[in-house]
Structure 1
Amino acid sequence: MIRSIYKTIMLLTPEALLSTASRERCIANLKELPMFIRDDSYKRSAAVLVPLCVVDGEVCLLFTLRSSTLSTHSGQVSFPGGKMDEGETVYQTAVRETEEEIGVPPKDIDIWSKMSLVQGRDSSIVITPVVGELKNFNENKLQPNESEVAEIFTIPIKVLCDQTNHAGFKFNGNIIPVFMGGKHKVWGITGIITHLFLQCFLPNELYQGDFQRLEYKLEDLMPSKL
């Protein structure tokens, strides 16, 4: 038992999770993901960065809480990102939006790979998540764009792996992942992207989602956006 716990701890260290071998395994798994779009009639494209970072010696994912003044998706937990400008690649969009929203310069963003397309809640838009590591990360140097971002927060990978922090809600007959344990619940499209990324990033012994253990109603989750 002690040996198993020690092994798990060692597998979650930055040295293990951000190693070349871990990165290559993750990228290979990302390339195997299917596309999660209902149809191809979408009119707009967007990209978000799924940002890995190290905080107090722990590998984390970084999230933002969107400003309550925004006209769409206000108060929601999201990854840095936005609509693609004409002529941009998904990588360029993710990097540009990350700098604009939280003040991380391109030189400090180490892009790993892109994920498969994910349909937005509005079927007219599709999102390409881009995985990257924030180098030289310092929370105190982040510069949130107050017109778009109300808050920036991180959640350790070990917290996202803990099944006691897993829940779900039903949408069109499907279970949508909800991650608890952080400052804000992660759900919706961001919850789906988080789950897909963790499946590719971590071995099965570290991550197995259990999103049916606790069920939320949509109205229970909505206040967490405000």
Structure 2
Amino acid sequence: MFDVADLRHRLDARGAALFEPDDGDHRLNPELEATIGEAATREAAVLVGIVDREAGASVLLTTRAAGLRTHSGQIAFPGGAVDPGDSGVEAAALREAQEEVGLDPRFVEVLGLLPRYRTTTGFAITPVLAIVQPGFSLRPNPTEVDDVFEVPLAFLMDEAHHARDSRVWKGHIRHFYTMPFGERHIWGVTAGILRTLYERLYAW
């Protein structure tokens, strides 16, 4: 059963092995490891919110606003850059989730941090794994988010729904994970972080 109780059990059983080493775009593009290691200096955090639904846990995701300069229209976790005023990555993820979709931190229980995900665009993203209790109401910020929705954890943690794709980026072929869900196309960093969650907690 893909529920919160099972998630907690898997976390307890996995222990410290969950958190290392860093992950990132270099996993499917090993030739980029040195370049990413030097470039990934901008700290960011995202909230991997597992919603505690009676029918089974689900994952909270957003569709980025079409008017954004970067990654417009892509599916993403709530999150963004860590600000100087944030007390840490957990605080940054909670702040961003409240600013982007109106998620009240009172409904969120942080469980821990997944491995940092280093990107070719220079970010080192810390996924903050958390339980979101039902009863919350959301108010998406239209300047940042076009849509907020949930996808069953059972779907995302089924390897049969994990595919690999590629495209040319800056003159080179880049490989990435993709997890199509109906008309929604989950790919890139978001799919990569979900793949990490699968490998660390559900594949063993």
Does TM-score exceed 0.5, indicating one fold? yes
- In the alignment of these two chains, the number of paired residues is 189
Which residue matches 2:30?
none
Write the letter of the residue equivalent to 2:16.
A
- CA shift digits 1:40-97 (9 cap, x unpaired): 3444211111110134521111110000011111101000001111142111100100
Distance 1:86 1:135 in 2: 29
Distance 2:173 2:48 in 1: 27
Q: CA deviation at 1:129?
A: 1.0
Which residue matches 1:8?
none
The higher radius of gyration belongs to 1
Unaligned runs of 5+ in 2: 25-32
Q: Is the 8 A contact 2:22 2:117 kept in 1?
A: no
Q: Secondary structure at the match of 2:91?
A: helix
Write the letter of the residue equivalent to 2:92.
T
77 and 27 in structure 1: CA distance in 2 versus 1, 3 angstrom threshold: farther
Distance 1:181 1:154 in 2: 11
Which residue matches 1:146?
142
Write the letter of the residue equivalent to 2:6.
A
42 and 162 in structure 1: CA distance in 2 versus 1, 3 angstrom threshold: closer
Q: CA deviation at 1:170?
A: 2.8
56 and 121 in structure 1: CA distance in 2 versus 1, 3 angstrom threshold: farther
Please state if 1:155 is matched with 2:123. no
- The percent of aligned pairs where both chains have the same amino acid is 28
Distance 1:153 1:61 in 2: 8
- C-alpha root-mean-square deviation of aligned residues, in Å? 2.3
User: Higher mean Cα deviation, 144-153 or 163-172?
Assistant: 163-172
Please state if 1:193 is matched with 2:193. yes
The higher-RCO structure (CA 8 Å, 6+ apart) is 2
Match of 1:77 among 72, 75, 78: 75
Q: Secondary structure at the match of 1:198?
A: helix
Structure (1/2) with the larger strand percentage: 2
Please state if 1:34 is matched with 2:22. yes
Q: TM-score, normalised by structure 2?
A: 0.81
Unaligned runs of 5+ in 1: 1-10, 205-226
- CA shift digits 1:167-225 (9 cap, x unpaired): 21136666421112345121001110010012223253xxxxxxxxxxxxxxxxxxxxx
